[in-house]
Amino acid sequence: MRGLMQDYPLTLSHLLYRAERLFPYKMVASRGPAGMLRYTYAEMCRRVRRLANVLQQLDVHAGDRVGSFAWNTHRHLELYLGVPSSGAVLHTINIRLFPEQITYIINHAGDVVLFVDDSLLPILEQLAQQLRSVRAFVVMTDGPLPDSSLKPLYSYEELLRNASDEFAFPPLDENTACGMCYTSGTTGPPKGVVYSHRALFLQSIIQTMADTMALCERDVLLSIVPMFHANAWNLPYAGTMVGAAQVYPGAHPQPEDLARLIQEERVTIAAGVPTVWISILALLQQKPYDLSSLRCIVCGGAAAPQSLIEAYDRLGIPIVHAWGLTETAPTATVSVPRRHMLSWPPEQLRAMRAKQGPVLPALEIRAMDDGGREVPWDGKSVGELQLRGPWIMSEYYNDPRTPEAFADGWLRTGDVASIDADGFVQITDRAKDVIKSGGEWISSVELENALMGHPQVLEAAVIGLPHDQWQERPLACVVPRPGQTIDKADLRAYLAARFPKWWLPDEFVFLDAIPRTSVGKFAKGDLRARFEGYHWP
């Protein structure tokens, strides 16, 4: 039987069409060295068409990889839209990786042109001689072309000024590659994930659903999560699709910058990792900012402590917990309470919201034990989360490690979790971070979340270290709140009321700060290296 629907490709160039036709008056605001830059969607789309002409002048062809080495700015948004719509592939490069990792992923992706923020030029200048495929560098700055050893070097603004704003975007197959991100590479070199137009288009639609993020035209969106990390959780695309006003925090945003942007731009939805919201919360205790415009905070990248959710509840700002991976393009679950949960006592409801939530429409999820058996959805049994669906990656880019990432066609996430009867996922740990003590499992995440609920604790990370008798035991690394001195016995008693005795950390160490990964998560690998050879008291 012949299909009854038109074969219309789901491509990102459609977002430009909608932006131009439906939302030409909507605003984009971008924080820069000279203050806030503001322009309309109509102006943005004209610049994107100029960018597409520039790519042709730079001899960029369909399928070529174009790298971006940049902060969250309006120019980066233009690359998000212009590069894929022209048929090329945007490779967003994590600026916080080690130099050898940056070199590896640029060479492995085969980037032909690199667009770089002027403040980041020194990093690439050190690597330029090792970049085998790059034919040109384009610096994104408001000022004149800086003096640099990168050759040939072009000015983004000058190229756009001299280009036509007339460009007919080519028809593309929705399964064409449009974007590329690399995992941070905790073991071995980073692994590349390629996204199709269809995957990111579907993800954009999903993020507008009421039971996910409910992103809509009335919103003012602040993407704090870096645009070089998992496509900023796809929010720039979803925001453009619905015509939301968009705010970009620029280079090196600090908690005070973010709080001021929320206050002054009247942001309604903002997205970032828990450490960002912990820092902003600490700032609010010292200096008042008006964050009342926020209707929700999207929090992901790591488990959001229940104490953090409670703290923002007191401010009247709900946290919406989301979870995903670079390999899931990126969102896979979002925690929005069901109708029957709304009558629950606040503490019970908050505990449910602290879970990662049910799997999104079109995806399938399961948790598998070590024997390869699916565990029941009882909220207690744990196993490795596995996923399949239309925006789940099918392979790593030119990487022999692909087979180990899959089981019977299901993506192995490396996250250990339970799934309850309502389908709500609760991540208990990364497989590599679970602590095995005396043949039993201890969740470092649950201990961390509990510790960060203590009134004198700012941050906490728990790691497992070798133990002669028990194989591993937990060590708690704790950052006190400013001006606070914490008693170890008090912390132990605080946890003892919540966990069995054998879960309790054998020791607490106090640090000035918890090291972070390139995307703002706690760097537990660094902590394990720091305490290698640790002698238990």
d(CA 254, CA 35): 15
Do the beta carbons of residue 333 and residue 401 sit within 8 Å?
no
The set of residues, in sequence order, having a beta carbon less than 8 Å from that of 169 and lying 6+ positions away, is: 13, 16, 52, 85, 86
| First vs last C-alpha separation in the chain | 74
- Supply the pLDDT for residue 533: 85
Mean pLDDT on 455-473: 87
| Identity at 411, one-letter amino acid code | L
Confidence of residue 438 (pLDDT cuts 50, 70, 90): low
d(CA 507, CA 514): 16
The set of residues, in sequence order, having a beta carbon less than 8 Å from that of 39 and lying 6+ positions away, is: 27, 28, 74
Domains along the chain? 13-253 (3.40.50.12780), 435-530 (3.30.300.30)
Instruction: Classify strands 364-368 and 410-419 as parallel, antiparallel or unpaired.
Output: unpaired
Q: Which residue in this structure is represented by tokens 């009867």? A: 421
Range from 81-85, 212-216, 427-431 carrying the lowest mean pLDDT: 427-431
Of the listed 166, 364, 380, 441, which one is catalytic? 441
Do the beta carbons of residue 336 and residue 321 sit within 8 Å?
no
Mean pLDDT on 246-250: 98
Tokens of 83: 């590069």
Residue 442 has pLDDT above 90, yes or no: no
- Supply the pLDDT for residue 420: 97
Residue 264 has pLDDT above 80, yes or no: yes
Nearest to 475 by CA among 467, 486, 487: 467
- Supply the pLDDT for residue 43: 98
- Supply the pLDDT for residue 440: 67
183 is catalytic: yes
Range from 43-52, 207-216, 349-358, 443-452 carrying the lowest mean pLDDT: 443-452
Q: For residue 532, count other CB atoms closer than 10 A to its CB.
A: 9
Tell me which long-range contacts 194-197 makes (C-beta under 8 A, separation of at least 24).
Answer: 194/89, 194/393, 194/397, 195/231, 195/329, 195/391, 197/9, 197/10, 197/11, 197/12, 197/84, 197/172, 197/173
Strand partners of residue 277: none
Q: H/E/C letters for each residue in 180-245?
A: EEECCCCCCCCCEEEEEHHHHHHHHHHHCCCCCCCCCCCCEEEECCCCCCHHHHHHHHHHHHHCCE
Higher per-residue pLDDT: 443 or 259 = 259
- Supply the pLDDT for residue 537: 83
pLDDT over 70, % of the chain: 98
- Supply the pLDDT for residue 523: 84
Mean pLDDT on 255-281: 95
Global pTM value: 0.86
- Supply the pLDDT for residue 433: 77
Of the listed 103, 183, 212, 326, which one is catalytic? 183
Mean pLDDT on 482-489: 90
Cα of 270 vs its chain's centroid, Å: 12
Residue 467 has pLDDT above 90, yes or no: no
Mean pLDDT on 255-271: 98
d(CA 504, CA 472): 12
Residue 185 has pLDDT above 60, yes or no: no
Characterise 509 by phi-psi region: left (phi > 0), alpha (psi -120 to 50), beta (else): beta
Q: What is the pLDDT of residues 330-376, one digit of tens each?
A: 999 999 999 999 999 999 999 999 999 999 999 999 999 989 999 99
Of the listed 436, 440, 502, 536, which one is catalytic? 436
Mean pLDDT on 20-38: 97
Q: What is the pLDDT of residues 284-338, one digit of tens each?
A: 989 999 999 999 999 998 788 888 999 999 999 999 999 999 999 999 999 999 9
485 is catalytic: no
- Supply the pLDDT for residue 165: 95
- Supply the pLDDT for residue 234: 97
Confidence of residue 232 (pLDDT cuts 50, 70, 90): very high
* DSSP per-residue codes, 121-183: HHHHHHHGGG-SS--EEEEE-SSSPPP-S-SSEEEHHHHHHTS-S---PPP--TTSEEEEEE-
Mean pLDDT on 77-92: 98
Residues in the chain: 537
- Supply the pLDDT for residue 520: 73
d(CA 372, CA 394): 20
- Supply the pLDDT for residue 1: 57
Residue 103 has pLDDT above 60, yes or no: yes
441 is catalytic: yes
Residue 283's alpha-carbon distances to 169, 221, 252, 256, 310, in angstroms, are 45, 21, 17, 7, 17
Q: Which residue in this structure is represented by tokens 């949960």? A: 341
pLDDT over 90, % of the chain: 78
- Supply the pLDDT for residue 503: 87
- Supply the pLDDT for residue 186: 53
Of the listed 157, 265, 327, 446, which one is catalytic? 327
- Supply the pLDDT for residue 187: 59
Confidence of residue 444 (pLDDT cuts 50, 70, 90): confident
Do the beta carbons of residue 151 and residue 131 sit within 8 Å?
no
410 is catalytic: no
- Supply the pLDDT for residue 214: 97
